[in-house]
Chains A and B, each alone.
Chain A
Amino acid sequence: MMQYFHSVKLNVKKCIGCTICIKHCPTEAIRVHDGKAAIMDERCIDCGECIKSCPHHAKYAHSDTLKKLSEYKYNIALPDPSFFGQFKEGENIEDILQAFLHIGFDEVFEVSLAAEIVAYIVSQKLRSSKIKKPIFSTSCPAVLRLMQIKFPGLLEQTTQVLSPMEIAARIAKDEAVKKTGIAYDEIGAIFISPCPAKVTEARQPITTKHSAVNGVIGAHLIYRDIIKNLHKGPVDQEAQAQQRSLHKATKKGMSWGYLTGEPQSIEVGTTLAVSGVQNVMSLLEEIERGELQDVDFIEMKVCDAGCVGGPLNIQNSFVGRVHLRGLIARAGGQPSYYSEEELRDMYGKGHFESTEPILPRPIMTLDEDVAMALVKMERLDQITKELPGLDCGACGCPSCRALAEDIIRGTAFETDCVIKLRDRIKILAQEILYLARIVPPSMAADHPEKKEGA
């Protein structure tokens, strides 16, 4: 069986076994056992809903730290578009990018710039009438993993393009090799991530065999270092002399940090943008039934308001979006870094197409044999009917139905249900009471019934 890597982890010390997270998990991947939350590896999509919902901050995303930089000769920071929404109003993008060079990076490459390439490729694909519509963005890996489990029938309608993160890493490393002569393997591409899903995507990518991203640092882990190093000016004098600007992305790519950024930059056909894991699921249900065939492209993000709402970002998602919008507006309309010709060339060569098919992961199936699965389903329905239907979570499962499923799978017992257990105790108590009232003949004088009769 395949080993799954997950970036979402549990801090056992902080977990009090309260069952809040199990209710928020869209794939019902968490159970509370022995007073601690346990994540089922094969079900987890690393969306981070449990990180957001845990009041005790017991869930966290495992990511790299700045120490990772010591493993490479030359390091390139790849900040996510949403990262720029984390700063106070009045900051400018160039200053933020310069700060990366002050904390140990040798180069910065905006993922926003790669997003512009993806936008171009997708717009070209939409112009061809051959594809089945609507097509779905592949930029949110948590959405892709959700589709693998719950909406496998729609996987073929994804754009089949690599993510902006992946493309950014490839271009930045190729450029660095040319510029410095350092070997490709000695160059580290470090993504600055808003979410655990992208940490996982770099380690265990879905759309390509091996990711060019060498490390991922959570936005929350690097934020303070960046803040402290703002406004220090250019690091190297040579760059200053050449007035080299690190900021190359335009509004098109930068707006990928918040919801609606993708459709706005693709500029072709009828588009739709949806965020929040529940909203994504209900929209996918509709599309699965054949609705929305007149829509060409759909952006989907599991986080509210898009990547600015990522669990590793610092600001509230709405504040982050306002800041990012302000930043983009102030940056003005600089011309696109890549010419139309260069973009056409990149699309034509097909280097940025995904190389792996996104395969279904039918982990919800009760049994491989349909007849056997039906037998189990009959039992499952029966058990569900007998459970109280409170969905209280005290058994450690997200719902009564989920407990019934676990019982069928052999990982739980009916008496895990506190209500069921209480019923059993009640029956037992009545029996004990009955036994207690039976008095042996030698003590008959004390027998209440006898007294009455006397």
Chain B
Amino acid sequence: MWLVEARMVFGRARVRALLVVLAAVPVFLALAVYLTGGPSHAGGPAFLDQATQNGVFTALASLAVTMPFFIPLSVAVVAGDSVAGEASLGTLRYLLVRPTGRGRLLLAKAVVVALFCIAAALVVVVAGVIAGLAFFPHGKVVTLSGTTIPFLDGFGRSLLAALVVGASMFGLAAIGIFVSTFTDAPIVAMAMTVGAVIVSAILDGVSQVAFMHPWLFTNYWLAFADLAREPIIWRSIWKDLLLQAAYVAFFGSAAWARMTSRDVLA
């Protein structure tokens, strides 16, 4: 059932287009930095300065660029569509009558959305590493702490960063699936999920509500950067994963309660 659902989601033209766009970001980024002859000193996203030094940093810079908006947007599209999409087509009633247990169906949807989160981050990293290797030197990687690590170690860390970024999306994915169980219009669920990201990001930038910051699901989204230090600083990464787990538990059970009790009228 999970496989069938995964094939269905990843087979959709919309989802493939999202992944292609995500893969295009690192390529454009690398190309732009290469053509302009190096990083601008006027700032810019994290890691951009290091991108010319090593291909691995192109991948990390791409993650930093896509993290605030592109990746969450694509996760919101897939998560928001998960249940509401079936409801709007009317296929939800046929899946339930098939019969597919309501809880089982929700679980399958959630697993596939989680897979998509990881896939989205992996696509960015893999495309970033390839683009980086094409334009910039490879070999030893100089970490943010100034030490050097072998290239393979650096590559491994960028894959690990993809997993961390993917997992950082789980909280948002849970919110998206939860909203998706409430409406028969997928576009509404997607918009509300994107709205959740925006609200969380805005609150995260307002110092007057600093007490809330540790509880915002966007707060530790850039924690993956600590993977580029030597030694790796795990503190905020663990905090991030713990927070995501809390969001998944809360919105996951709410979605479960809604899904197993709702009247399916669509």
Are both chains from one complex?
Answer: no
User: Taking beta carbons and an 8 Å cutoff, which residues of A are in contact with B?
Assistant: none
